[in-house]
Amino acid sequence: MATCFFKEKFIRRRRKEARPAELTAAALDVFAEKGFAATRLDDIAARAGVSKGTVYLYFDNKEALFKAAVEAAMTPAIEAAEALAGDTQRPAGELLREFVLGWWQLVGSTSLGALPRLLVAESRNFPELAAWFHEKMISRALRAMATIIEQGIASGEFRPAPPLLAARIVFAPMFSFIIWQHTFSTHMPDLPPPEEFLGEAARILLYGLSTPESPT
């Protein structure tokens, strides 16, 4: 009898510890489907299978839950980008290509891919959320890409260019494709597969960055 009691108590404690992750995962799905303005905490609670009061045990409001959901989901992608930027043993062109294709795998092909569309749509009404997302997420990814470009310039693989500006140019087709895929895909029957589009985008970008002596 005592064993069952302690087992149930342990299960309840483990469930309580896991609940924030369950809530952020449910929240990300609902935000992706409905947008920030239209999402209610009741919707998220229902998706997670808990009461609205349970949500308030862990998060003060909808904005706090949104930020926690985005951070939980995007941090692995950001850390992967920063790890690539820290790899000084491989050619910068190889790192850049892996970054572009890896970003699609970790962000664009998941529910995170809806975030650019969501933030574009909501930024006028919720500018603080857009500013937070850029500062905490996009800026870190841009700095990682800029570091790769700096390494390529230092090694002579890339021609001199403003690294952060070049990083923004690299991000432009990545951002555009995610918007197309998650907003217009059913209306763009000629949209190529992501690997094909992003692979060609990386090739063109590398051609522009590379010195005449470097392979593209």
pLDDT digits (tens, 9 = 90+) for 198-211: 999 999 999 999 98
Residue 116: the pLDDT is 84
Residue 7: the pLDDT is 38
Residue with tokens 């839950």: 65
158 strand-pairing partners:
210
Distance CA 211, CA 94 (A): 15
User: May I ask the CATH class of domain 63-209?
Assistant: mainly alpha
Q: Name which of 169, 168, 193, 170 is nearest 180 in CA terms.
A: 193
How many other C-beta atoms lie within 10 A of the C-beta of residue 76? 11
pLDDT (average), residues 87-92: 95
pTM to 2 decimal places: 0.83
pLDDT at residue 2 is higher than 60: no
% of residues, the chain, pLDDT over 70: 90
Q: Give the up-direction half-sphere exposure of residue 148: CA atoms within 13 A in the CB hemisphere.
A: 29
Min mean pLDDT across 10-14, 140-144, 150-154 is at 10-14
pLDDT, averaged across the chain: 87
pLDDT at residue 112 is higher than 50: yes
